[in-house]
Structure 1
Amino acid sequence: MTFLSIDSIHHTYFSPKTATHALSDISLQVEEGEFISFIGPSGCGKTTLLSIVAGLILPTEGTVTLHNKPIKQMKKKLGYMLQQDYLFPWKTIEENILLGLSIMGNLTEEKRNEAHMLLKEMGLEGVGSSYPRELSGGMRQRVALIRTLITEPQLLLLDEPFSALDYQTKLRLEDQVFSTLKSFGKTAILVTHDIGEAISMSDRILLFGSKPGHIHTVFEVPAPLKEMMPFEVRNHEAYPEFFQTIWKELEKLESRID
């Protein structure tokens, strides 16, 4: 059984005077445990598709199913991690992490202990009683990831979660997120503008074309790179050539836009 199925998605944004075709005939199958990245020129519909998968936007045409059930029925099985961490500044780190469980009425002592364990695993031991303003950007994003994982989502949707961080923090966080998701066997979709990030974290990379958004090319990440940590991937001999292959395809797309 396919884990996630995206079938014949078309989407148009309507206004009183215009109709903007954002996506055209998007079909994709994602297996459980896969890490997929969406890359492409600005305005090619990557985030629109992610929002449709999240059930935040109803597509004009087509269906999205998780375990053969409509995505609208499976929203509680999804986790969303954004560029901004959206931690509540007046709540402690522990309160922020457990807020979703508390709202759903699923907060238990076992879950509280799990939160402490995840904080320790992510190098954040002892910060549970701190407030977001006392943490760095990278630490806050790790908290956001823990807040997402604690609800036990089956599918994680990552919308440029590292783009606001400095480069060193970004590289360290890529490694931590990658290893954490692998250890939990999570399935993830990442939207990014960073080809290196897509290569280092993914099993497959989907390059989108625009006007309207469509899947232009699917790249299978070379097998040796899939088994490595993201930082190690960038130093592997297969990395530069694969990067250039994707870069050249992206340049072709962007030149058509110009």
Structure 2
Amino acid sequence: MSFLQVQDIHHTYFTKATATTALSNISFTVEEGEFVSLLGPSGCGKTTLLSIISSLLKPTQGEILLQGKPVSPSKNDVGYMLQQDYLFPWKTIEENILLGLKLSNQLNDKTKAAALQLLQQIGLAGVEKQLPKQLSGGMRQRAALVRTLSTEPKLLMLDEPFSALDYQTKLKLEDLVSQTLDEYSKTAILVTHDIGEAIAMSDRVFLLSSKPGRIYKIFEMPEELRKLSPFEARNHEAYQTIFQTIWKELESLEPR
């Protein structure tokens, strides 16, 4: 049985006057420890699909199974890392990273020590008592990743988490996140508009067509790229070939 099963997902948004189908016939599986990306034109339903997988949104049809069971937010099945870090500005970094543990009644000496250790491992030693405004954007996103991972979610959702950062910080954070997820054997789904990011970080890339969103093609990244860090993958000769292939497919899906 696959770790994550997305089975025949359809979703329609209804208003008094209209019915708009956002997703149609979406089915795929993700194995434990795998990193997959959702790529596609604007409006193809990537974020809607992420919300359905995490059970924040109930689909019109279909089901999501995680380890054979429906996804449960109350059991910390899913962790989210978003474009904005959403750290509380009046709380210290330590208070922010422990918030998820506190809200889920998991906060104790052991889990606190583990969260603070992860903060050190991720390069933020010594910032525990600082406020978010004292940190750079990249540092805040690292703190947000610690907050997300500290509750030990089974599945990690990354919704364009690097898009607000400058390019150099983005590349560094791609490497850091990829390395951290590998170390903790986390399964992750990334929503991105960045073809290069999807190629460099993923085991597989799902290209969605729009209106309604369907899985148009699945690209499996070659082994020689998957064993490299995202930064190294971007410099591999196979990267440009895959980039051009996906670029052409994505361009064919854009409205004329």
TM-score (structure 1 length as normaliser): 0.97
Q: 1:62 aligned to 2:70?
A: no
Give the superposed CA RMSD: 0.9
- The 5 A counterparts of 1:25-36 are 25-36=25-36
The 1-side partners of 2:234 and 2:91 are apart by 38
Q: Is the 8 A contact 2:71 2:77 kept in 1?
A: no
How far does the alpha carbon of each residue in 1:32-71 deviate from its partner, in whole angstroms, 9 at most, with x for none? 0000000000000011000000111000000001011112
- Tell me the equivalent position of 1:188: 188
Q: Deviations over 1:63-98 (max 9, x none)?
A: 001011112477521101110110001110000000
- Comparing 244-253 with 113-122, greater Cα deviation is found at 113-122
Whether the 8 Å contact between 2:54 and 2:73 is mirrored in structure 1 is no
Q: Does 1:127 align with 2:108?
A: no
Distance of 1:186 and 1:14 partners within structure 2: 35
Give distance in 2, aligned partners of 1:123 and 1:170. Answer: 15
- For 1:1-258, what aligned pairs fall within 5 Å after superposition? 1-72=1-72, 76-254=76-254, 257-258=255-256
AA of the residue aligned to 1:26: I
SS in 2 for 1:152: coil
Deviation per residue, 1:134-163 (Å, 9 max, x gap): 000000000000000000011000000000
Q: Residue by residue, what CA displacement relative to the aligned partner does 1:219-248 show, whole Å, maximum 9, x if unpaired?
A: 000110000000000110111111101001
Q: CA deviation at 1:105?
A: 1.8
Q: 1: distance between equivalents of 2:73 and 2:154? A: 13
Amino acid at match of 1:35: F
Query: Which portions of structure 1, spanning 4 or more consecutive aligned residues, are displaced by more than 2 angstroms?
Result: 72-75
Number of equivalenced pairs: 256
The residue type equivalent to 1:15 in the other structure is T
Amino acid in structure 1 at the alignment position of 2:2 = T
Structure 1, unmatched stretches of 5+, are none
CA distance in 2, matches of 1:75, 1:141: 24
- CA–CA distance in structure 2, aligned partners of residues 73 and 236 of structure 1: 39
Asked whether the 8 Å contact 1:162–1:170 carries over to 2, the reply is yes
Q: Secondary structure at the match of 2:175?
A: helix
Identity %: 64
